[in-house]
Amino acid sequence: MKFDKDSLLLYAVTDRHWLKGRSLKEDVESALKGGASFIQLREKEDMALDHDAYLQEALEIGKLCRSYGVPFVLDDEVELAIEADADGVHVGQEDMEAGRVREKLGKEKILGVSVQTVEEAILAKERGADYLGVGAVFPTGSKKDAVDVSLETLKAICEAVDLPVVAIGGISRDNVMELKGSGIAGIAVISAIFAKPDIEEATADLRKQCLKMLFPEKEG
């Protein structure tokens, strides 16, 4: 799938902790129905699947996302992303180096890279990133090793590189407006969608708030 920065508007990162008897596919489809524009399949270490189960899950979620015309990437798992023919992969600073990932993926796949500084952002662009994930912009319990990134640093990263930036970390409908004017292309969330009792409704509401934040001139 060809990468379009507009797809980063509302980037949903999966977490099976909140399934409550439902399947991950059901929860992802609810998010897609609510307006999620990008899906990242992320499996935490404490809920790790074996290779075959993870591959099957990736194939299933990938097929679902294609039916909605929404990009689908895997978190960290470069080889599995290739095997599952996902649209791409997202890697952190502690994962496979971005240049090597780009070599493995080829030019057509999507590569996202997590950064916390301007220097990391510039390097990620040089090594072939299509977009950057920056955070944590707010306190978050979803990732224990998340590094806090100030609004000033977020703005500096957006100004330093001509790559779309998605903010992540502790973002909710109640604080998303604080990111107004930062230069981001969208937000990435986990619990703000998947921890809610009505995922579709929560996604639709968050999408509205995100649009207000990004395009205040269109209000009213």
CA distance 119 to 58: 32
Query: Catalytic: 7?
Result: no
Helix (H) or strand (E) holding 154: helix 151-160
Query: Catalytic: 143?
Result: yes
Tokens of 127: 């090594």
**Catalytic residue (one of 143, 191, 196, 207):** 143
**DSSP-assigned states of every residue in 86-138:** -SEEEE-TTSS-HHHHHHHH-SSSEEEEEESSHHHHHHHHHTT-SEEEEE-SS
CA distance 140 to 171: 8
**Catalytic residue (one of 42, 102, 125, 207):** 42
Give the HSE-up count for residue 137: Cα atoms under 13 Å, Cβ half-sphere.
27
Query: Catalytic: 30?
Result: no
CA distance 30 to 46: 25
**Catalytic residue (one of 114, 142, 182, 191):** 114
* 159 phi/psi in degrees, rounded to 5: -80, -25
Tokens of 84: 């599952």
- Catalytic residue positions, numbered: 42, 114, 143
